[in-house]
Chain A
Amino acid sequence: MPAIEILGLEKTYMVGFWRKRPKRALKPLHLTVETGEIFGFLGPNGAGKTTTLKMLMGLVFPTSGTARILGQEWTEPSVKAQIGFLPEQPYFYDYLTAHELLNYYGQLSGVPAIDRKHRIEEVLQQVGLTDVKGVQLRKFSKGMLQRAGIAQAILHDPRLVFFDEPMSGLDPLGRREVRDLMEQLKQRGKTVFFSTHILSDAEALCDRVAIIHKGELRGVGTIEELTSTVQGKVEIIWQGTVVPASMKALGVECHVSGETVRGVLSERQQDAAIDALRRERMRLVSITPLRTSLESYFVEKLQHSETTAGTLV
């Protein structure tokens, strides 16, 4: 059973003084997230990521379309007991201490009193806020608020967690801890859906990603799927300090670096290049398909969408 099935969710706001002018925030979105995966929802600012998340949380009503979460209609209150949500740049009741905040959210999520105390201590430990649990949130830094936000999202041990820009405001160590936390959640069988525009986080964490731009889905798949098909080129590395003439004849772009030579050529020329190295009795070190980075793919999709009106999915 998929954890999330988005079936044509669409949002158009009416703007202007008389609310007559339509502004489309999200074109009909179809997306499936499997149980137990870490799914990255990528896009630049204003792409429609937060609108999608808000619709799934019931904060914004879709113009059309529907969704199913954990096999149930997404509007069912019983579904909400099984999901956690960290909004973008979270702000909490600043007159509460971290412990009181978690206790309040635990009460609203229906965590029994007998489990709540233990569970609060556990998540405070997980996010590194144990030492400041008695401090009012108005004295928290941005990074500490982000940690409190993560704590409240996982407090009730949800099966599915939505994080909107979870690394925002965190220092490198904090980002590492959040990555580890997401991996722990995945290991415990939870599904993590997170939106970000930090591609290195998505590349390091995600089983699959979706790219959204200007309210439209531009691509979806594993990182490998999205990045392997771009160039159809391979990277070949061999030991040596010179480029044989036979390799030059193949038109291989070569770069000598110390005791090794790195060459880039098309997949079609791969066998011919290996034969040439054999003939020259040069030792082959590696040959790997040349992948583009997720960033290059992302930028290409965004640039492509600027110049074409068609769907790129």
Chain B
Amino acid sequence: MNSRILHIASNTFREAVRDRVLYNLIAFAVLISGAAILVGEISIEIERLVVVNLGLTAVSLFGVVIAIFIGIGLVSKEIEKRTLYTVLSRPVRRWEFIVGKFLGLAGTLVVNTLFMAIGVFAALFYVAHKLSAPDALIVVALYFIILEFLIICSLSLLFSSFSTPLLSAVFAFSLFVIGSFADDLRGFARVTHGITKWFATGAAYLLPNFSALNVISAVAHQKHIGVQLILQNTLYALVYAAMALSGAVLIFERRNLK
């Protein structure tokens, strides 16, 4: 890969770490430990179900918050603080900057998720006193959560390339909420008629489908996750993120840095 992209990605990762983003891990550790101890006390027979549900949901929410709040500032903050001037006056193309920033944030989220995953497994071990084969499905759910982060990162970056941080946060968070109910939107599109059907179908395909990436409940109930779904979701997330990133590049390539 282009070395300039890697340097930009590595600097973005370093920024996130030094700006104490990973402090959320401490909050996560406190939350998950407290929950595990509490669940151990009050739940009978369903400790595993509760810990997996709670743990993975927390991993997802913590990551989404980080993806949005770092992602929306990736470009706008650099323009506002003018740190971008000394980068783009070097032999760095604008698309390289965008891709580098995306990879840096994605890397931050992957590392963050890995640490949180250790917390989830530790809590699970605490309440169940063992790890069994079905617990491997948790890894699949974590992988889907990372795919979800990739889409949110790319959308945050897209909004950041033309909008203010506040509006970008509103747009990105709204898309996350709407995308989490994408299955309902598709269901509505199937039962409705006329122009509403067209509109609902179009919106269902355009908006990110986070429902398909959410297998937390299935994993908590130890349901099987097919290879086909893994491949489909991987392809979907990569294509969606690539399209959002392309949009960010197209806008940023034409933007005057006043």
Contacts and interface: CB of A to CB of B under 8 A. Distances in A.
Interface of A: 13, 54, 57-61, 77-78, 80-81, 83, 85, 87, 89-93, 95-96, 104-105, 107-110, 149, 152
Contacts of A96: 11, 14
B7 A104 contact: yes
A60 B132 CA distance: 59
A85 B3 contact: no
Nearest to B81: A91
Given A60-B257, A110-B91, A91 B83 contact: yes
A108 B91 CA distance: 7
A109 B92 CA distance: 8
Contacts of B8: 108
Contacts of A91: 81-83
Nearest to B97: A108
Contacts of A54: 85, 257
A96 to B, nearest CB: 8
Given A57-B88, A59-B256, A96-B11, 13 more contacts: A57-B85, A58-B89, A59-B84, A59-B89, A90-B85, A92-B83, A93-B11, A93-B15, A95-B18, A107-B3, A108-B87, A109-B90, A109-B91
A83 B91 CA distance: 9
B89 A80 contact: yes
A91 B82 CA distance: 6
Interface of B: 3-4, 7-8, 11, 14-15, 18-19, 81-93, 254, 256-258
Contacts, number: 75
A105 B86 contact: yes
B14 A95 contact: yes
A129 B83 CA distance: 20
Contacts of A152: 86
Contact of A95 (B15, B91, B93): B15
Contact of A93 (B3, B7, B83, B92): B83
Nearest to A61: B256
B81 A77 contact: no
Contacts of B18: 95
Given A90-B82, A91-B81, A91-B83, A85 B7 contact: no
B89 A85 contact: yes
Contact of A80 (B11, B91, B256): B91
A292 to B, nearest CB: 36
Contacts of A95: 14-15, 18-19
B91 A87 contact: no
Top-5 shortest CB links A-B: A85-B89, A95-B18, A57-B89, A59-B257, A77-B91
Contacts of B84: 59
A28 B71 CA distance: 38
Nearest to A87: B85
A90 B89 CA distance: 13
Nearest to B80: A91
Contacts of B4: 107-108
B103 to A, nearest CB: 15
A252 B70 CA distance: 73
15 contacts: A54-B257, A77-B91, A85-B85, A90-B82, A90-B86, A91-B81, A93-B83, A95-B15, A104-B7, A105-B86, A107-B3, A107-B7, A108-B7, A108-B90, A108-B91
Which of A58, A108, A149 has the most CB atoms of chain B within a 10 A radius of its CB?
A108
A85 B84 CA distance: 12
Contacts of B258: 13, 60
Contacts of A85: 85-86, 89
A39 B200 CA distance: 62
Contacts of B86: 85, 87, 90, 92, 105, 149, 152
Contacts of A81: 90-91
